[in-house]
Amino acid sequence: MAKLTVDGFVVRDDLAYDLEHHMWVEELGSGVVRIGMDALGLETSGTLAQLSFEPAEFDVDRGAAFGSLEAEKFVGPLIAPVSGRILAINEAALEHPGIVQADPYGAGWLIEVRAHRLDEERDRLLQGAEEIHSSFSAKIREYRVEGVLSE
Amino acid sequence: MAAAPLRVIDFGRVSPLRSQTLWHAIAHGVSGGGPATLSLMQPAAPYVSIGYHVPYEDVDHERCSDAGLPVYRRMVGGGPVYLDDGQIFFQITVPVEDTPAVRSAAVAGLLAPAVRAFRAVGVAAVLEDHGDIVAGGRKVCGHGAGQIEGAVTVVGNLITRFDHAAAASVIRTPDEETSVELERLMRRHVAATPADPEAFRDAAVVEYTRALDRVAEFSHLTADELDALTELDERFTSPSWVEEPARRRGSTWRVKVKSGVWMAAAASGETRAALSVVDGRIEWARFADPMLNGAAAAVEDSCRGRTLGEAGLVLCRRGEPGMRLAGLLGDVEREIRR
């Protein structure tokens, strides 16, 4: 795995990203993917206090919620970057949401899914070091212009 | 093109159930293309509301049942709270695309007009960095927020009268002594501000219309929202919704009274620690361990006024029981940092 630092935020260039919803996707093989939150999304969420996930066997569509997070009394949805059936949820993250912020691309993963339409949906995710770098850089700049992310 | 008006709905006194479901129905309507809405209401009777992620068992259901208090789970954040007719609720609901991506900024932005409304009716309110609205250092407005479908709702209240004893009693605590300390913390850090509710409502309308650059339009629920209200009334009284089994709590018990003011407790076997922590320092402590041999009070005294880290070092110097207690203080520190 290769880690990039884009304007102070760590990203992995071997993952695919739904930058609108700050989710990453790692293909584990045989159509199974692991999903987590990217570091920029975690920064904009604030300190995570709680997480909840739909249970295993739940079918989720790309763009729909597979769970929720609570940070600073705000409850927001966790949006699926791909469609599929939930195979596993990260129990450790449920018990200790802090690990998601401490290690977002490792121990802080959220769910594993058997993807339904990966070939079709993969193309809608950011992939490749160059695209990942330029897109994250643009998003960080956008947030800073809006004044919602400190320099 | 002129912006849509800010819809204003003052529901007046409503049932405890409707004081929750009405604004969730509004969120459904705003999500479906309705205008940003400022709503207000007053619950006609006392009840308990728990935040979306709060474990059901964090509420003392025996006491609630004895007092005839229903319990409803809301879809926004925050802890378990006692609510009654000494509180006027307000909610601002806007389409999610009209709010900043950074949620803490969205919440602060949507609370700022409420702070100005408090000030307009004579409450010297300020919005603290962590989002609490305080006056004279005391919390004067509880709040919660969330994305409900495609709308963001921020809720708060004007507390004209606050029943600290009832508010502490509905929260399940490890023991009675901790409940007493919780009530003490609430009395010290949560205050009522007996401002005129009608003046506050008028000031809130002025401030939210100004902040959102819209004109106010006093209105009512749409037919679609009324349909949603019927479904929400059913859902919010359904045990499967209120008791929702999937909520997790760490092994450490904690209650946030206001930013920087915590009650917490942790246990491992026969070793137990209960603490109140204010601005990072221990104000009150109760320790139990079979090897303390009657020295608990002295050990507790040695920790008062110290940070959790400092107290942990002091405890470690006392040998085996102290090291076990220091481990629990570490658990508490991790929990209240969340």
- Condensed to tens digits (0 to 9), the pLDDT of residues A42-96 reads 988 888 989 999 999 999 999 999 999 999 899 999 999 999 999 999 999 998 8
The token pair that represents A112 in the structure block: 């594993």
**Residue type at A8 in one-letter notation:** G
Looking at residue B3, the DSSP 8-state letter turns out to be P
Find the distance separating the first CA and the last CA of chain A, reported in whole Å: 27
Query: Is residue A149 assigned to a domain?
Result: no
Q: Answer yes or no: do B210 and B268 share one domain.
A: no
Residue B1 pLDDT: 55
Residue A105 in this model has a pLDDT that exceeds 60: yes
Estimate the crossing angle of helix B223-236 against helix B18-31, to 10 degrees. 130
Mutate to test the interface with B, among A21, A75, A86 (most CBs of B within 10 A): A75
| Cβ-based contacts of B51 with chain A (< 8 Å) | 70, 73, 75
B76 with A73: Cβ contact below 8 A: yes
As for how many domains chain A has, the answer is: 1
Chain A residue closest to B51 (CA)? Answer: A73
Q: Which helix (H) or strand (E) holds A96?
A: none
Q: Answer yes or no: do B20 and B142 share one domain.
A: yes
Cβ of residue A134 closer than 8 Å to a chain B Cβ: no
Residue B293 pLDDT: 81
Cβ of residue B220 closer than 8 Å to a chain A Cβ: no
Query: Is residue A116 assigned to a domain?
Result: yes
Cβ of residue B113 closer than 8 Å to a chain A Cβ: no
Query: Is residue A151 assigned to a domain?
Result: no
The segments of chain B whose pLDDT lies below 70 read 1-2, 245-250, 338
Query: Is residue B145 assigned to a domain?
Result: yes
Q: Answer yes or no: do B215 and B262 share one domain.
A: no
Q: How close does chain B come to A117, measured CA to CA in Å?
A: 24
The partner residue sitting opposite A47, judged by closest CB among B53, B101, B338, is B338
B53 with A48: Cβ contact below 8 A: no
B219 near B184, Cβ under 8 Å? no
| Cβ-based contacts of A149 with chain B (< 8 Å) | 102
CATH at A62: 2.40.50.100
Query: Is residue A147 assigned to a domain?
Result: no
CATH at B316: 3.30.390
Q: Answer yes or no: do B267 and B238 share one domain.
A: no
Residue B274 pLDDT: 96
Cβ of residue B101 closer than 8 Å to a chain A Cβ: yes
Sheet hosting strand B81-83, strand order edge to edge: B71-73, B47-50, B81-83
The partner residue sitting opposite A77, judged by closest CB among B105, B147, B248, is B147
Query: Is residue A148 assigned to a domain?
Result: no
> Where a domain ends, among B221, B242, B263?
B242
Query: Is residue A38 assigned to a domain?
Result: yes
Mutate to test the interface with B, among A57, A70, A91 (most CBs of B within 10 A): A70
Q: How close does chain A come to B260, measured CA to CA in Å?
A: 13
Q: Report d(CA B234, CA B53) in Å as an integer.
A: 20
Antiparallel, parallel or unpaired: β B143-148 and A74-79? parallel
| Cβ-based contacts of A52 with chain B (< 8 Å) | 53, 246-248
> Where a domain ends, among B185, B211, B242?
B242
CB count in 10 Å sphere of residue A130: 9
Residue A111 pLDDT: 98
Query: Is residue B155 assigned to a domain?
Result: yes
Q: Answer yes or no: do B272 and B199 share one domain.
A: no
B164 near B187, Cβ under 8 Å? yes
B314 near B323, Cβ under 8 Å? no
| Cβ-based contacts of B100 with chain A (< 8 Å) | 146, 148
Q: Which helix (H) or strand (E) holds B157?
A: strand B151-159
Q: How close does chain A come to B154, measured CA to CA in Å?
A: 8
Antiparallel, parallel or unpaired: β B47-50 and B71-73? parallel
Q: Answer yes or no: do B91 and B200 share one domain.
A: yes
Q: Answer yes or no: do B219 and B147 share one domain.
A: yes
Q: Answer yes or no: do B288 and B186 share one domain.
A: no
Local structure of B74: helix, strand or coil:
coil
The partner residue sitting opposite A73, judged by closest CB among B75, B131, B250, is B131
CATH at B74: 3.30.930.10
Q: Check residue B52 and give left, alpha or beta (phi > 0: left; psi -120 to 50: alpha).
A: alpha
By the 10 Å C-beta count (0-12 exposed, 13-18 middle, 19+ buried), A30 is classed as: exposed
Measure the CA angle with vertex A76, ends A70 and A81; round to 5°. 120
Residue B288 pLDDT: 93
Q: Report d(CA A135, CA A16) in Å as an integer.
A: 12
As for how many domains chain B has, the answer is: 2
- Write out pLDDT tens, residues B266-325: 999 999 999 999 999 999 999 999 998 888 999 999 999 999 999 999 999 888 889 999
Query: Is residue A52 assigned to a domain?
Result: yes
Residue B269 pLDDT: 92
The partner residue sitting opposite B338, judged by closest CB among A53, A98, A149, is A98
Q: Answer yes or no: do B168 and B283 share one domain.
A: no
Query: Is residue B20 assigned to a domain?
Result: yes
Residue A45 pLDDT: 87
Query: Is residue B247 assigned to a domain?
Result: no
Q: How close does chain B come to A112, measured CA to CA in Å?
A: 18
B77 with A45: Cβ contact below 8 A: no
> Where a domain ends, among B242, B272, B295?
B242
B96 near B153, Cβ under 8 Å? no
| Cβ-based contacts of B128 with chain A (< 8 Å) | none
Domain holding A7, by residue range, is 3-140
Q: Answer yes or no: do B309 and B218 share one domain.
A: no
The residue count for chain B: 338
A66 near A56, Cβ under 8 Å? no
Query: Is residue A77 assigned to a domain?
Result: yes
The partner residue sitting opposite A143, judged by closest CB among B51, B101, B334, is B101
B103 with A55: Cβ contact below 8 A: no
Query: Is residue B248 assigned to a domain?
Result: no
A70 with B105: Cβ contact below 8 A: no
Residue A1 pLDDT: 65
Cβ of residue B248 closer than 8 Å to a chain A Cβ: yes
A101 near A108, Cβ under 8 Å? yes
pLDDT classification of A8: cutoffs 50, 70, 90: confident
Domain holding B13, by residue range, is 6-242
| Strand blocks (E) in B31-70 | 37-43, 47-50
B246 with A48: Cβ contact below 8 A: no
Residue B320 pLDDT: 85
Find the distance separating the first CA and the last CA of chain B, reported in whole Å: 44
Q: What Å distances lie between residue A47 and A43, A70, A88, B86, CA to CA?
A: 8, 8, 24, 32
Q: What Å distances lie between residue A138 and A2, B71, B234, CA to CA?
A: 20, 46, 45
- Write out pLDDT tens, residues A17-53: 999 999 999 999 999 999 999 999 998 888 898 999 9
